[in-house]
Structure 1
Amino acid sequence: MAAVVGIRAWPRPVVFVGETLLVSVCYYVAGRLGLSQQLVADGAVVTPIWPPTGVAVACLLLFGLRCAPGIALGALLVVASLTAPRLSAAGIVLGNTIAPVCALLMLRAVGFRVSLSRLRDGVALVFLGALTAMLISSGVGVGMLVLTDKLAADDFWLVWLAWWVGDAMGVVLVTPLLLLLHRARRSPPSGRWGEAVGLALVVCVLVPVVTYSSISVLFLVYPLLIWAALRFQLAGGMPCALYASVMTTVAARDEAGSFGALTDIETMMKLQAFNGTLGLTALLLSAVITEQINTRRSVERACHELVEALQHLNAGGSGNTGPPGRGAG
């Protein structure tokens, strides 16, 4: 407790600088992880999943707008690690900062809850926080590349689409997982340790086999995803979806499995379609199941309180009944 009080007693500028550096480091590390899984499509380098957008949106949802400078600094560090700071780099940093902030503002406007305990929260995160807000980062980033002659105008739509989907997948796959970790409990729900370990083992073994199989059997991932979401909601669905997406991206980068005979464009399209449907299924199915469980618990709680109230009324009424008292004298 004394340590917590001591941290809170630090001057606000020191706390702000510390938070900014921490957010920027998290953003930079996520960026380097995303860049490690690059693909080449028609001569352009793309990232099918861009984790920094998920990190940025999660930090803003949890800690507010004070994280925006850290996001900008992290984006600048990622861009600086790839190329010398120029006008195009400034535009990319600006777009990557404004897009998560707009996602936060839109999600706040519709009453988004970080618990993701309602279907409307999952839908809002997908369609507002991911698909809509990330139009800004992709549009500004690719637009700046074209304006500064870093990218041919004919390649605009292809690179924009890949950029947009990669940013959106970062929000869909990474943000829910970070929000879940922020409020994680030490024990899994209902203590289903055995089932959780069994599910993890099956996923870890079967997913690489499916993704590297020469036969196109990627659909076999969905039964595992449904099992994880039905039994463990976000705690099971989102890690399963993220792991399957990463393994599929690795297979696509290695031109292995069902991606071996495809062109670069076909590989990108197939991979992004698979990752997108996987992330949407995991997030929305988990949100639906969580909402149903919470509704059932609320009904059970209301019924229990009603029974207690009726028992209390009956007890009070029975206490007032009995033989009439005899008068004195």
Structure 2
Amino acid sequence: MAAVVGIHAWPRPAVLACETLLVAVCYYAAGRLGLSQQLVADGAVVTPIWPPTGVAVTCLLLFGFRCVPGIAVGALLVVASLSTPGLSAAGIVLGNTVAPVCAFLMLRAVGFRVSLSRLRDGLALVFLGALTAMLISSGTGAGVLLLTDKLAPDDFWLVWLAWWVGDAMGVVLVTPLLLLLHRARRPPPSGRWAEAVGLALVVCVLVPMVTYSSVSALFLVYPLLVWAALRFQLAGGMPCALFASVVATVAARQETGSFGGLTDVETMMKLQAFNGTLGLTALLLSSVISEQLNTRRSVERACHELVEALQHLNAGGSGTTGAAGRDAR
């Protein structure tokens, strides 16, 4: 008989070290991606979308508290790439680590499902995971910069608002997409592939055209977003919203198209309002449609089971009646 070779699992410390390194690398890569599209408003550098918050919240939702060291290391690497580590850097790292943890705790407390198949899940992610929890990171970061004299008092509220919205948009736009990719399976062939390809082509052509047009017509993006969310739920709505948001951010950074002729503050406010409404529309509409479809499938399944049960009872009743008739004869 052939010898059986035992495969020993890695020691747990080694596994934790690899997980920490992987989370840190993902966080740092997302941070560099976010920093590539910076805006300047009254001398303050802001990021309209901060993807690392979405990465951090996703890792916590999927893998739990063991991701916290990786998030802290990744935040430290991002901050260290921008300035010399010091008191302000430590405060920013602390805020960027604690905020996703608080988001995870609040979402877990309300029974959040990573499938985002219910409206309550979308609302929880927006209002708890994004808008509420990210007050910690923005308040800590802007507050530390103010206390260390790296931020003028007059610029505090502008920087705080930009920081808060950027972190919140990272959760609203990035987290649903990563959760969707984590549970993605190859879909069966169907006639909807043609519609999906057509939608992708229309979005890729129309969104840049509208964004870079000298006529302010960003509202034309929303019918496409509604189409994507109605027909494909999260799988269509979130990529469409993220693509439109990235294109708008690039146009705002170049001060062209719908963002031409605006001041720095006006550009930041318009872009963040656009990104915010995009993310909210895509996430909440997709959640509503998914919940309705799941409810419909549940009702259809219950009706089918009821029909089978009635048929079984009728068959049993007919058999009993026939046996009784034979006995009477």
TM (norm. structure 1) is 0.96
Q: Deviations over 1:248-280 (max 9, x none)?
A: 000000000121111001000000000000000
Cα distance, 1:51–1:11 mapped onto 2, change above 3 Å: same
Distance 1:31 1:234 in 2: 24
Distance 2:253 2:189 in 1: 36
Q: Map 1:114-125; keep pairs closer than 5 Å.
A: 114-125=114-125
Q: Secondary structure at the match of 1:137?
A: helix
Q: Which residue of 2 aligns with 1:181?
A: 181
Q: Which residue of 2 aligns with 1:84?
A: 84
Amino acid paired to 1:57: V
Q: Map 1:1-329; keep pairs closer than 5 Å.
A: 9-187=9-187, 190=190, 192-322=192-322, 323-325=325-327
Question: Does the 8 Å CA contact 1:169/1:276 hold for their aligned counterparts?
Answer: yes
Distance 2:224 2:312 in 1: 48
Distance 1:147 1:238 in 2: 38
Q: Secondary structure at the match of 1:325?
A: helix
Q: Secondary structure at the match of 1:240?
A: helix
Q: Which residue of 1 aligns with 2:3?
A: none
Amino acid paired to 1:44: A
Q: Secondary structure at the match of 2:326?
A: coil
Q: Secondary structure at the match of 1:64?
A: helix
Distance 1:134 1:232 in 2: 29
Superposition deviation, residue 325 in structure 1: 2.0
Superposition deviation, residue 189 in structure 1: 8.3
Q: Which runs of 5+ in 1 are unaligned?
A: none
Amino acid paired to 1:324: R
Superposition deviation, residue 187 in structure 1: 1.7
Cα distance, 1:231–1:189 mapped onto 2, change above 3 Å: farther
Amino acid paired to 1:251: A
Distance 1:10 1:301 in 2: 44
Matched-pair identity in %: 86
Amino acid paired to 1:258: S
Amino acid paired to 1:210: V
Question: Does the 8 Å CA contact 1:24/1:73 hold for their aligned counterparts?
Answer: yes
Distance 1:178 1:93 in 2: 23
Q: Deviations over 1:217-276 (max 9, x none)?
A: 000000100010000000000000000000000000000012111100100000000000
Q: Secondary structure at the match of 2:40?
A: strand
Distance 1:38 1:188 in 2: 40
Aligned-CA RMSD value: 1.3
TM (norm. structure 2) is 0.96
Q: Secondary structure at the match of 2:185?
A: coil
Amino acid paired to 1:153: P
Superposition deviation, residue 190 in structure 1: 4.9
Superposition deviation, residue 326 in structure 1: 6.4
Distance 1:276 1:186 in 2: 30
Question: Does the 8 Å CA contact 1:115/1:179 hold for their aligned counterparts?
Answer: yes
Cα distance, 1:67–1:189 mapped onto 2, change above 3 Å: farther
Report runs of 4+ in structure 1 exceeding 6 Å deviation: none
Distance 2:148 2:191 in 1: 56
Distance 1:204 1:84 in 2: 40
Superposition deviation, residue 188 in structure 1: 6.4
Distance 2:189 2:141 in 1: 42
Superposition deviation, residue 43 in structure 1: 0.6
